[in-house]
Copies of this chain bind each other. A is one copy, B any other.
Amino acid sequence: MTDDSPTVEPPPTFELDAATAVEPTGPAGTFAFTVDAGFTVGPKPNGGYLLATAARAVGVALADAGSAHRDPLAASAHYLWAPDPGPATIAVEVLRTGRSASQVRAVIEQDGRRCVDLTLTVGTLAVAPAVWTRAIPVDVAPIEDCVRIPSRREGSDFVVSTMDRVDLRLDPATMGFAFGAPSGRGELAGWIDLPDGRPIDPLALLLLLDTLPPATLDIGPSGWVPTLSLTAYLRSLPVPGPLRVRQRIGTIGTGRVDEACELWDATGALVAHATQLAAIRFEDESALVPPPSP
């Protein structure tokens, strides 16, 4: 059932490819890149964008090591320090090359400061239906009834430049937060795609898994929700077209929240999912909307 044809690199004419371009430097496994100002949340780069860039370097390092493995199957990223747009480096260390998968570590640094520590399991991803799943695609409004999230809300100085390069349309039923009326379900859902027509390959999946606003918006306003640790699993290549997306809270306590993000393609296949632990501080904990009774 798997497709063993080699992964073909798309031409670097799309925004995501230009922004994740990596340049081998001196020693094997070391790369230079530029943290792109177009994939940011406020002044700092999107975590999924950094993960996708590291995955690109990992693919090059595995090719150099003689491995045919290119596609991340599992990736975990620990965010140590948020870099700024500008020059940065990636150091890749191949931990093990196996028959069906290889395991690799990567570290993103800027100005000598370690920013992201990543470990990836890399193999070959195919378009493949699930044998068994409980991950039923989220029931969302048709894409034409959903609302595109802009890079800047009217009256706000906070720019999420990523939203100019990712087409995220949220179901109005999950957008109560925009009108001061969060539902308390702790869930955002809708459709997501790349607006410049770039195919959604494994690198794009890594980006899209960490692009939604925090689902904590749906229970109440909070400060900054910085990711401590993110784990992504890629399960199938998607068929062409926008993906359904759902981001939801698990549990909030002692200043930390876990959130899960799931992506489904037009066939209903769960193509990728991620979980993250983030730090959070609410402006007013007593004003949070409680979850609906089950």
Contact = CB atoms under 8 A, between A and B. Distances in A.
Query: Chain A: interface residue count, which band?
Result: 35 or more
Given A76-B119, A101-B228, A114 B96 contact: yes
Interface of A: 1-2, 73-74, 76, 78, 80-81, 95-96, 100-101, 103, 105, 114, 117, 119, 121, 125-126, 128-136, 186, 219, 228-229, 231, 233, 235-236, 248-256, 258, 270, 273, 275, 277, 279, 282, 285, 288, 290-291, 294
26 contacts: A73-B256, A76-B76, A78-B119, A81-B96, A95-B114, A96-B114, A121-B277, A125-B254, A126-B254, A129-B253, A130-B251, A130-B253, A132-B290, A133-B250, A133-B251, A133-B252, A134-B186, A134-B248, A134-B249, A134-B250, A134-B251, A136-B294, A231-B275, A236-B253, A236-B254, A250-B273
Given A131-B285, A132-B291, A233-B277, A74 B251 contact: no
A126 B256 CA distance: 12
